Amino acid sequence: MDSSTKSNIKRFDAILLAPVIYVCHFLEESQQFVPWFNAHVARGITTGLFWRVNLTALAITLFVVVVEWLSQSASSLILAVGWFGFLMFANAIFHITGAFVDRGYVPGLITAIILYLPYYSWLFVRGAKSKLVPIPVLIGAAFIAAIPMWVHGYLILFRGSRLF
């Protein structure tokens, strides 16, 4: 087996971890995030909305994983780097910033640090090493996809409002 085949197999295997990592994060948040959020935002959220948003994100995650798994193309890599840049990288930044602002624990902080950041870093580096897509394009995909999460996080933490 040549090195490019081994690289694709490793990328294939690890992409399957994304839904598991997301569910771990969601489970960490599930009991405490709604009250934490509602303490920050006057127009709070319901538990039902929290579940709908997270189940929708899980469905999108499963879709992205299947597309990357089946295709392993430049387009699927851009999709994966972008989606997980939004879901994991930008969300981890939100949780870390929230912990600094609150000077305490934010529900989801532990998995954001120990799962999201390492996994996303690994995914990005593997994508860059694959040379399927130029690094500036991967950075652009990650940055552009992260904007809604960063805006939403800013609104929650610094303005007491929300994006949706």
pLDDT score for 4: 52
Contact 61, 78 (CB under 8 A): no
Q: What is the pLDDT along the chain (164 residues), one digit of tens a residue?
A: 555 555 554 555 789 999 999 999 999 999 999 999 999 999 899 999 999 999 999 999 999 999 999 999 999 999 999 999 999 999 999 999 999 999 999 999 999 999 999 999 999 999 999 999 999 999 999 999 999 999 999 999 999 999 87
Q: Which two tokens stand for residue 72?
A: 């392993």
CB of 150 within 8 A of CB of 90? yes
| Residue 117: half-sphere exposure toward Cβ, Cα within 13 Å | 12
Check: pTM over 0.85? Answer yes or no: yes
A 10 A CB-CB count for 140 gives 16
Question: Residue 10's pLDDT is what?
Answer: 53
Instruction: Return the structure tokens found at 56.
Output: 């929708």
Distance CA(5)–CA(93), nearest Å, equals 33
Is there a contact between 117 and 92 (Cβ–Cβ < 8 Å)? Answer: yes
The Cα–Cα gap between 142 and 135 comes to 11
Alpha-carbon gap, residue 24 to 121, rounded angstroms: 18
The answer to whether the CB of 81 falls within 8 A of the CB of 142 is yes
